[in-house]
């Protein structure tokens, strides 16, 4: 039996019929066609599916879509603004913070959340924030460098 839910995704209101067991990651990818959120493990181990639920990072493979009813969801597609890519996205490009890119959306969401709360994170702060994200391609050095570069660039601009 489907349930009607209302969810704000990246500032757009959606009224959607969903099965009660549908995961948020599948609502985003399959129903709303926001495929930037990657589905990696279904066990909350990899973090590729990380989105924000009311400004808090969550692994969308462990959140039921019905739990988002009446809430705000922000996906990696919501990072870009009219003025262009978010500074975290630009820094990942500039500092080679990605290789295959599969884990990147989840890490970008976690990084943006961190920098919104801590504009001057240490390397330890960054590594702790992204500790729930698994990147199978890198040793995390360029990822950490990219996040710290984004923080520095934002501080210099303000």
| Average confidence (pLDDT) per 10 residues, the chain, 158 residues | 96 97 97 94 87 97 97 97 94 93 94 98 97 90 97 94
- In angstroms, the CA 17 to CA 92 distance is 36
Helices (H), 27-86: none
Query: Can you list the domains of the chain with their CATH numbers?
Result: 3-78 (3.10.20.30), 87-157 (1.10.150.120)
The candidate with the shortest Cα–Cα distance to 112, out of 71, 69, 51, is: 51
Q: What is residue 40's predicted lDDT score, i.e. its pLDDT?
A: 84
What DSSP state is assigned to residue 146? H
Q: Give the CA count within 13 Å in the CB-facing half-sphere of 24.
A: 28
- In angstroms, the CA 37 to CA 59 distance is 10
| Beta pairing class for 3-9 and 72-74 | parallel
Q: What is residue 118's predicted lDDT score, i.e. its pLDDT?
A: 98
Q: Are 54 and 65 in contact (CB under 8 A)?
A: no
Q: What is residue 154's predicted lDDT score, i.e. its pLDDT?
A: 96
Q: What is residue 16's predicted lDDT score, i.e. its pLDDT?
A: 97
Read off the pTM: 0.94
126, two tokens: 């960054």
Q: What is residue 101's predicted lDDT score, i.e. its pLDDT?
A: 87
């Amino acid at each position: 039996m489907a349930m009607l839910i209302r969810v704000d995704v990246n500032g757009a209101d959606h009224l959607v019929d969903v099965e009660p067991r549908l995961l948020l990651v599948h609502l985003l990818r399959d129903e709303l066609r926001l495929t930037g959120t990657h589905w990696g493990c279904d066990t909350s181990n990899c973090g590729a599916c990380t989105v924000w639920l009311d400004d808090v990072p969550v692994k969308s493979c462990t959140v039921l879509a019905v739990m988002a009813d009446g809430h705000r969801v922000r996906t990696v597609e919501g990072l870009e603004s009219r003025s262009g890519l978010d500074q975290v996205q630009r820094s990942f490009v500039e500092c080679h913070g990605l290789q295959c890119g599969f884990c990147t959306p989840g890490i970008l969401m976690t990084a943006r959340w961190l920098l919104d709360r801590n504009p001057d994170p240490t390397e330890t702060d960054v590594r702790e924030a992204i500790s729930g994200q698994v990147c199978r391609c890198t040793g995390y050095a360029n990822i950490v460098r990219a996040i710290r570069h984004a923080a520095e660039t934002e501080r210099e601009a303000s």
